[in-house]
Amino acid sequence: MRPVARLMMACAVGVVAAGSWAVAVGGGYPRGDGGTRQAGPGGLSGPAASIDRLLSEAYPPGEPGAVVRVSKAGVVLLEKGYGFADVGRKLPATPDTVFRLASVTKAFTGTAVLMLVERGAIALDDPVTKHLPSSPPAWRDVTVRHLLSHTSGLPNYLDRPNSMEWAAREYSVQELIDSFKDWPAAFAPGERSAYSNSNYVLLGAIIEKVSGVPFDRFVETSIFAPLGMTATACGSSVRDLSRLATAYEPARTADDQLDWTRLLVARPYSFSAVYAVGSCVSSLRDLVRFHDGLVGGRLIGAAAVARSLAPAALRAGVAPAMSEGGWQLDAIGGRRAVMRGGALPGVCTWFLTMPDDEVSVILLSNRTPGKPRCGMLAVQVAGLAAGGPRRNDPAPAP
């Protein structure tokens, strides 16, 4: 499978912080509000102008839009909003607009787990049953490491009939676990890697059990507050919706086909249904603060970050496309790339970096992925920022 095709298939309810990759690979990633240099004044030129044209066409005025930040070698090439955060009220999308983040939540969840590992409260090789003793016997060989790296074999609890109707309701953490605890495993733990949101439901429950506080409270006090991420919250802590972008999805025709000419307010998807999997909201600028916290060692140490970026260990060998911390490992035009994409109804998020080229791209959108395909856009943007394929490297397949 081509790298970009594999990238698109991996998109499910994520974003990951550039800082984590930078520390691991020595990429020297740009600092955010304080340390990143902004490109010079005047009109856009070079790669920034090309990126701006691409995104202006993808997110035209008057429609649900997106915000993007592109950095290379310590310089912000582009930080800009396109289209509307709310079409009805004609509110523009800006770097301060708050978006539902889908699986960017997993970056916070994974960081929280690694913080507890550094404190000695959790070990990566702890079995799930140690912290969640009511777990079914079939999970006795599943460890925290398996959950983080999507190598547990647990089925994805969101893959169910009538999933939209199911996800519109409210759930407790235990109800989420009960909804899949009796489902058969897809494979034995450590046999291979397969993305499953169920892994991060269990990680959220373990965080709560070990810390003694709800998941949303733990990430708020341990991550968001120390970093000044005032626009970021998760689950039941999401109270101020005044800055939240309205999510839009395509209408459906009489024969149940998507009609991309008509974008409607998206169907409801409850915060509790996606819990530690995808319940957080944030802004572009808050994600930069999260990035800086990781780069600056304010959350976890460099050694922990490096371990989380290593290819996931399997019973035999490693998973070349998945890291120990659950990030996708890939390549764009022969260049190394680390990425995570996420989607909910009316939400598309993407974060990728090309560490050898010191390129990072964050893209947050309030329209269902498809037209445009925000993950493919992020790949194109990164390629433009990096300057095309390396000399003597094969060009990416069309």
**Could you say which of 20, 71, 103, 211 is catalytic?**
103
For 163-191, what is each residue's pLDDT tens digit? 999 999 999 999 999 999 999 999 999 99
For 75-125, what is each residue's pLDDT tens digit? 999 999 999 999 999 999 999 999 999 998 999 999 999 999 999 999 999
Edge-to-edge, what's the strand order for the sheet holding 280-283?
A: 98-100, 280-283, 233-234
Q: Is 304 helix (H, G, I), strand (E, B) or coil?
A: helix
Q: Token pair of 2, please?
A: 């081509």
Which of 149-153, 235-239, 320-324 is modeled with the greatest confidence? 149-153
CB contact at 8 A, 137 and 128: no
Q: Is 332 helix (H, G, I), strand (E, B) or coil?
A: strand
- DSSP class of residue 220 equals I
Whether residue 398 has pLDDT greater than 70: no
Question: Model-level pTM?
Answer: 0.87
What pLDDT shows up at residue 389?
53
Q: pLDDT grade, residue 7 (50/70/90)?
A: very low
For 264-277, what is each residue's pLDDT tens digit? 999 999 999 999 99
Q: pLDDT grade, residue 388 (50/70/90)?
A: low
Closest to 294 (Cα-Cα) out of 271, 322, 327, 320: 327
What pLDDT shows up at residue 45?
79
CB contact at 8 A, 342 and 13: yes
What distance in Å separates the CA atoms of residue 108 and residue 236, rounded to the nearest whole number?
Answer: 16
Closest to 202 (Cα-Cα) out of 117, 290, 131, 123: 131
What pLDDT shows up at residue 208?
98
Per cent of the chain over pLDDT 70 is 87
For 201-242, what is each residue's pLDDT tens digit? 999 999 999 999 999 999 999 999 999 999 999 998 998 788
Catalytic residue check, 163: no
What distance in Å separates the CA atoms of residue 204 and residue 214, rounded to the nearest whole number?
Answer: 9
Q: Is 301 helix (H, G, I), strand (E, B) or coil?
A: coil
For 14-57, what is each residue's pLDDT tens digit? 333 333 233 322 333 333 333 344 444 447 878 999 999 999 99
For 375-386, what is each residue's pLDDT tens digit? 899 999 999 999
